[in-house]
Chains A and B, each alone.
Chain A
């Protein structure tokens, strides 16, 4: 299953996704998708480095569907995180 690496930015707590250029972005559509073990391990190493440099915290990977090259969350939880709170 393709997956995306996510975390919260340490300073703000905001939801962030790892992008292809190694930056942490706020939009899921800009996240890089790992679709095999090799790319996943590379991304995991980049995320670990960001944890150690105190940029992010609470890092983990979650499964996505890729539709027209854009990752779509599968779980409700990740859909809510990607959309920010649905309550208003």
Chain B
């Protein structure tokens, strides 16, 4: 993991001190809310429905045990005993008092954490493949470059007042697990000629009111030229991005207004004029950062374990968890463990202080003190020896974190919605809980197979509903909460924006609508290996439409769904 040096530490501690002073002046009445608001937002502090919310940055989703314990302490001491992992691999605390915020920032700074640039029109937390550095399909560890980008973009004077917020995602793997095509800039490490490694650069993706899939801007930018190339992109955006209309201010609008070819021409023209040598990362600095991520060879461990085989035979729950939540590691004898914060009936992404402490301890004992936050609002232990999997599982059971549903229908991504968020139209959490309860039997969820279900409480799309295989969007229909359903979205390499299936449903009808959609899929799929999104691509939305909006058929379909799923 990257370790702060004295420069980083002093910087973060100074910022916390500055904020203490600003809060003091606000409480004393020396700053008006208008003056104070941008200052608190620069430190991740929002005012939500019931309280202040503090969004803490977790750079590229990487946490140490010590840091996770500190987050647990913050949850217990200054919140109501829990935190909420977000779709940007961050954590939010929903019940913060302004008085306490300076102490919390100090507590964060003491473990090399902060809330800087988790809000505002700046470059936000860079997100990455949650399995970075341990995936078996990786060309190079993207954390190195995510860290480079973090340092480059943090209080970069040119990027402090962008037209709008700016999100970058990076992956070094063959499979896109970072939704790079739905970011302002998506970066993919690729091999070029003669073994050179560089970046394929995508630009102009995003969700929100106007969703776009990013387009390729460059097929190969050498690694050592990345920063100047990105700086050229940011310049074009900073100069021409629209500041007159918040809904048209993201880079995706500019890219699509200019067209990708003209946008590329402008970027290249700026790039040609930049003093690249003064911007690109010096080799020594890259080596310094790279060294911080190199773990050295992991201790040799056995690749198979008789005790695990025996446990799988006698313990169905462990066996299912092993199948769904454990994934291969680049090193023989190791695996990566997904820890689900999606137990049906619970709030997606919420973690209690006790659960955080359990995970911190398991990471300490079994995963080299490292934890990952996934954008699916779960955690992962990146490097667990196969021989330790039973101990990890048993530890997770104690904290009710053994839910076996990674990438299944109950692994629902949901934003806080109208229960907490000031911008919401409708609640997300209650809908997520009800849907998850419908499919709570893990054998049913597994039978349905991989299925992304995403819920956002408004068109800002923090719950990524546009890219859900099934997406649910909360809308306000004459003062009541309604939900619009989209189908066929995907955040992965087969990137797609979901299509609206028909008129919205009132809250109470959403669970049965989802059941009808799933039933239609089950009855139409060629075989269990044809996933929901593949089947949707083949059959389109008509069968789903008729299942949803043709009443007699609706009840019939639901009945047959239950028959099918109980096979």
Q: Which residues of A contact B (CB under 8 A)?
A: 8, 10-15, 51-54, 57-58, 74-77, 80-81, 84-88
Contacts and interface: CB of A to CB of B under 8 A. Distances in A.
B429 interface: yes
Contact of A13 (B26, B29, B96, B429): B96
Nearest to A12: B97
B29 A54 contact: yes
Pairs A-B, 5 closest by C-beta atoms: A87-B429, A13-B51, A13-B52, A54-B29, A87-B419
Interface in B52-91: 52
A54 B555 CA distance: 57
A13 B46 CA distance: 10
Nearest to A8: B47
Contacts of B48: 13
B296 interface: no
B305 interface: no
- Which among A52, A80, A87 has the highest number of chain B CB atoms within 10 Å? A87
A67 to B, nearest CB: 18
Interface string B88-107: 00000010111100000000
A46 B419 CA distance: 29
Contact of A54 (B27, B47, B479): B27
Given A53-B29, A54-B26, A86-B419, A13 B47 contact: yes
B210 interface: no
Contacts of B13: none
A24 to B, nearest CB: 15
Contacts, number: 70
A88 B80 CA distance: 12
A80 B49 contact: yes
Contacts of A12: 51, 97-99
A83 B48 CA distance: 15
B181 interface: no
Contacts of A58: 33, 47
Taking residues whose C-beta sits less than 8 angstroms from the other chain, chain B's interface range is 20 to 34
Contacts of B255: none
B50 A15 contact: yes
Contacts of A14: 50-51
B33 A57 contact: yes
A35 B408 CA distance: 52
A60 to B, nearest CB: 11
A13 B479 contact: no
Nearest to A77: B418
A80 B52 contact: no
B227 interface: no
A87 B430 contact: yes
B437 to A, nearest CB: 14
Given A54-B29, A87-B419, A87-B429, A11 B50 contact: no
Nearest to A84: B50
A77 B347 CA distance: 19
A85 B419 contact: yes
B50 A86 contact: no
Given A53-B29, A57-B47, 9 more contacts: A10-B98, A13-B47, A52-B29, A54-B26, A76-B427, A77-B49, A85-B49, A86-B419, A86-B427
B558 to A, nearest CB: 26
B398 interface: no
Contacts of A15: 49-50
A62 B33 CA distance: 21
B420 interface: yes
B28 interface: yes
12 contacts: A12-B51, A13-B50, A15-B49, A54-B26, A74-B479, A76-B479, A77-B418, A80-B427, A85-B50, A87-B419, A87-B420, A87-B429
Contacts of B26: 10, 54
Contacts of B430: 86-87
Contact of A76 (B28, B47, B52, B481): B481
B418 A80 contact: yes
B427 A87 contact: yes
B391 interface: no
A45 B249 CA distance: 36
A87 B99 CA distance: 25
B151 interface: no
Nearest to B98: A11
Given A11-B27, A80-B418, A87 B479 contact: no
A85 B98 CA distance: 19
